[in-house]
Amino acid sequence: METASSCESSPAWQPLSATERRVVGVLVEKAKTTPENYPLTVNAIRVGSNQKSNRFPQMQLEEINVEDALDRLRAVGAVAEIVGDGRRNKYRHLLYKWLGVDKAEMAVMAELLLRGAQTIGELRGRAARMEPIADQAALRPILDALESRGLIVYLTPKGRGCVLTHNLYSEKELERLRREHEAGIPAPSATAATSPSSAPAPSALPTDSLAELRCELNECRGQVAELRAELEQATTELREKMDRLFQELGM
């Protein structure tokens, strides 16, 4: 059963590989959303890592990939192996102590580990499926606390539609992410480029206008993510009520 530590000892977090981040993110997510099935076997972690929803980028890990990641996570103190039902050992995360976070902070970190960079609006909607976070105003002190401990970084200036991510990347990965988001709206692909003989392209929008459009787009994405999370939560609650009703009726 998931419990938060007192976080009295110094956290021991360090950069993780993409597979390690996915594996430990899955352990946190399943501990919060399906505690009856937690801790997890290697196969359950593999299935959770490769699922299509709530994941970016998509992965196709094999059990050997998961086992290698678990070995590394155990070595750095982020995961523990426990004796299972006599047939398969299972794994649980140790991230409360490893990161030095509380339950709400853990939900935020898990979503960042599973999906990477995102806006505050997107993050609020997604993290709220694990822990109650009423709105963006409730999320901000959580983010401030994580930022003060170096666990998250902002990839764009703070404000409406800003983008942030966790800080468990390697220096090279984080630098690449910074460059991508500093560039603003992505440049056209090579296939969309005009040839020298083509007519000249219309004048580009001013930089300020592009930045404003990007902020508005990110804000809209955040609102959609919040609505989607609320719909998923309502659907889950309805299914649970229907299951209880069927049980009472003996169906």
Are 37 and 43 spatial neighbours (Cβ–Cβ below 8 Å)? no
Measured between its terminal Cα atoms, the distance across the chain in Å is 31
Residues in CB range of 82: below 8 A, 6 or more apart: 39, 89, 90, 91, 92
Q: Indicate the pLDDT class of residue 234, thresholds 50, 70 and 90.
A: low
Structural domains in the chain plus CATH codes:
18-100 (1.10.10.10), 117-181+207-249 (no CATH)
Query: Is the backbone of residue 159 left (phi > 0), alpha (psi -120 to 50) or beta?
Result: left
Residues in the chain: 251
Task: Give, in order, the Cα–Cα distances in Å from 75 to each of 5, 12, 69.
Answer: 20, 12, 10
In single-letter form, the type of residue at position 30 comes to: K
pLDDT at 130: 96
Of 177 and 242, more confident: 177
Provide the CA 170 distance to its chain's centre, in angstroms.
17
* Residues pairing with 92 in the sheet: 80
pLDDT at 43: 97
Residues in CB range of 34: below 8 A, 6 or more apart: none
| Measured distance CA(89)–CA(87) in Å, rounded | 7
Are 48 and 29 spatial neighbours (Cβ–Cβ below 8 Å)? yes
Q: What are phi and psi of 210, to 5 degrees?
A: -65, -40
* Residues pairing with 118 in the sheet: 164
Task: Give, in order, the Cα–Cα distances in Å from 107 to each of 35, 123, 128, 198.
Answer: 14, 10, 8, 51
Residues 201-211, mean pLDDT to the nearest whole number: 52
Residues 122-130, mean pLDDT to the nearest whole number: 94
DSSP annotation of 86: S
pLDDT in tens, 77-90: 999 999 766 678 99
pLDDT in tens, 139-156: 999 999 999 999 999 999
Q: Choose from 6-15, 82-91, 157-166, 186-195 the range with maximum mean pLDDT.
A: 157-166
| Measured distance CA(200)–CA(156) in Å, rounded | 31
Whether residue 248 is predicted with pLDDT greater than 90 in this model: the reply is no
DSSP annotation of 183: T
| Measured distance CA(23)–CA(42) in Å, rounded | 10
